[in-house]
Amino acid sequence: MTELLFFVEVVVAGLLAGTMYSLVALGFVLIYKASSTFNFAQGAMVFFAVLAFVGFMELGLPFFLAFIVTILLMGLVGYCTERLVLKPLMNQSEDTLLMATIGLGFVLEGLAQAAWGVEVRRLDLGIGDFPIQWIIDTFGLFVSALDLTAGLVAASLILGLSVLFKYTKMGLGLRAVADDPGAASSIGIPLNNIMLLVWTAAGVVALVAGMMWGARAGVQFALVDLALKALPVLIIGGFSSIPGAIVGGLIIGATEKVLEVYIGPYFGGAIEGWAPYVLAIFFLLYRPEGLFGEKIIRRV
């Protein structure tokens, strides 16, 4: 029984950590849907956003104001990216765009460090990384308050975004743009506004993911490597699917934790570092389009 409980704990911790991957992956998906670009810089955006946020707090801005200012800043970053990077590369191959966004990632990481320094910052959200007594009493499970908060925040954010894109006019516009940008703009959908909205949304998602991670492990450069794990998430979930990003994140989160706890010790641990990528390879071999992606038919 205790073994089963322990297993459940491991899975729950994995799932909650996985929501973080989902969040980063979600940012990827949003931008992929709006401008068919694999935005490799999404991980750097996480780092940039949370470092900016901490920087604004250090300037004396209150929590809420710092949050708003950071989001505005992320909107600006998105606008500049759209204007200066993506637009000039409009008809280039996917690979070229991808390389350009790798460059963009480096720019953002460098700018963030130049502006706010490289030392590890502490970010205190007022939620400790300790188990919640109530859950221990009721279920006998040890679940960290921070993990749970992160999970809940991520879930509500994902829910909010889904509603926004499903039921609002903007969301409809976005779906039209994702389908055919040319046609969408010719029937009067304001392309620029939608792009700005999407980039800002991706910025919000990045900021929240960064805050949650930063609260646990400190705001530091390692966030970029963690965010890289959103890539296998996307392969599992499919690049254009919001539910895919969520489920993919949960799968990666749970699997890597379970593997680390049960198999890791036999190999000296730290298999979390590569397990998601190997898992992604297996998905690539058996279902290259991802769980929720559309089947790719090779046409000539």
Partner 1 sequence: MTQERRFPIGSPILEVKNVSLSFGGVKAITNASFSILTHEIKAIIGPNGAGKSSMLNCINGIYKPQQGSIIFKNELLSKVNPNLIAKKGISRTFQNLALFKRMSVLDNILIGRRLHMNANFIQVAFQTNKARKEEIENRKKCEEIIEFLEIDDIKNTPVGKLPYGLQKKVELGRALATEAEVLLLDEPMAGMNVEEKREMCRFILKVNDEIGTTMVLIEHDMGVVMDISDNVVVLDYGKTLADGPPSEIRANQDVIDAYLGVAHD
Partner 2 sequence: MKSNKIFMEYTKNDLINFLLLMIISLLIIPITVKSGYWYSSILIPWLCLALASIGQQIVMGYAGQLALGAAGFMAAGAFACYNLILRVPDIPFFVALALSGLIAAAFGILFGLPSLRVRGIYLMVATLASQFFIVWMIDKFGWFKNYDSSGIITAQDIVIMGKSFTSPLEMYLVIVFVVTVLTLLAINMARGSTGRNWMAVRDMDIAAESMGISLLRTKLQAFAISAFYCGVAGALFAFTYLKSLEPVAFDIKLSFKILFMVILGGLGTISGAFIGAAFILLFPVLLNSIGNNVFHGAIDATIISSIEQVVFGVLIIIFMIYEPLGMAKLWDNIRLKFKKR
Name the residues that contact partner 1, by CB under 8 A: 295, 297-298, 300
Stretch that binds partner 2, among 91-99, 125-133, 143-151, 158-166 (CB under 8 A): 91-99
If the CB atoms of residues 129 and 294 are measured against partner 1, the closer one turns out to be 294
Query: CA 73, CA 66: separation in Å to the nearest integer?
Result: 10
Residue 265 binds to partner 2 (criterion: CB under 8 A): no
CB atoms within 10 A of CB 206: 29
Secondary structure of the chain in the HEC alphabet? CHHHHHHHHHHHHHHHHHHHHHHHHHHHHHHHHHHCCCCCCHHHHHHHHHHHHHHHHHCCCCHHHHHHHHHHHHHHHHHHHHHHHHCCCCCCCHHHHHHHHHHHHHHHHHHHHHHHCCCCECCCCCCCCCECHHHHHHHCCCCEHHHHHHHHHHHHHHHHHHHHHHHCHHHHHHHHHHHCHHHHHHCCCCHHHHHHHHHHHHHHHHHHHHHHHHHHHCECCHHHHHHHCHHHHHHHHCCCCHHHHHHHHHHHHHHHHHHHHHCHHHHCCCHHHCHHHHHHHHHHHHCCCCCCCCCCCCCC
CB of 300 to partner 1, least distance (A): 6
Span 201-230, contacts to partner 2 by CB under 8 A: 225, 228
Q: Give the nearer residue to partner 2 in terms of CB position, either 4 or 296.
A: 296
**Min dist. Cβ of residue 49 to partner 1 (A):** 38
Q: Which entry of partner 1, partner 2, none binds 288, CB below 5 to 8 A by partner kind?
A: partner 2
Instruction: Specify the residue, 51 or 74, whose C-beta has the smaller distance to partner 2.
Output: 51
Report the partner that residue 297 touches, choosing among partner 2, partner 1, none (CB closer than 5 to 8 A by kind). Answer: partner 1
Number of residues forming the site for partner 2 (CB under 8 A): 51
Q: Which stretch binds partner 2 (CB under 8 A): 47-55, 165-173, 255-263, 267-275?
A: 267-275
Q: How far is the CB of 175 from partner 1 (least distance, A)?
A: 23
CA distance from start to end of the chain: 57
Contacts of 28 (CB under 8 A, 6+ apart): 38, 39, 42, 230, 234, 239, 245
> Which of partner 2, partner 1, none does residue 26 bind to, with CB < 5 to 8 Å depending on kind?
none
Minimum CB distance to partner 1, residue 298 (Å): 8
CB closer to partner 2, 151 vs 253:
253
Q: How far is the CB of 242 from partner 1 (least distance, A)?
A: 24
* Window of 3-11, 193-201, 207-215, 276-284 that interacts with partner 2 by CB under 8 A: 276-284
Q: Which residue ranges make up the site for partner 2 (CB under 8 A)?
A: 38, 40, 84-85, 88-89, 92, 94-100, 102-111, 113-114, 117-118, 225, 228, 231-232, 234-235, 239, 267-271, 273-274, 277-278, 280-281, 284-285, 288, 298, 300
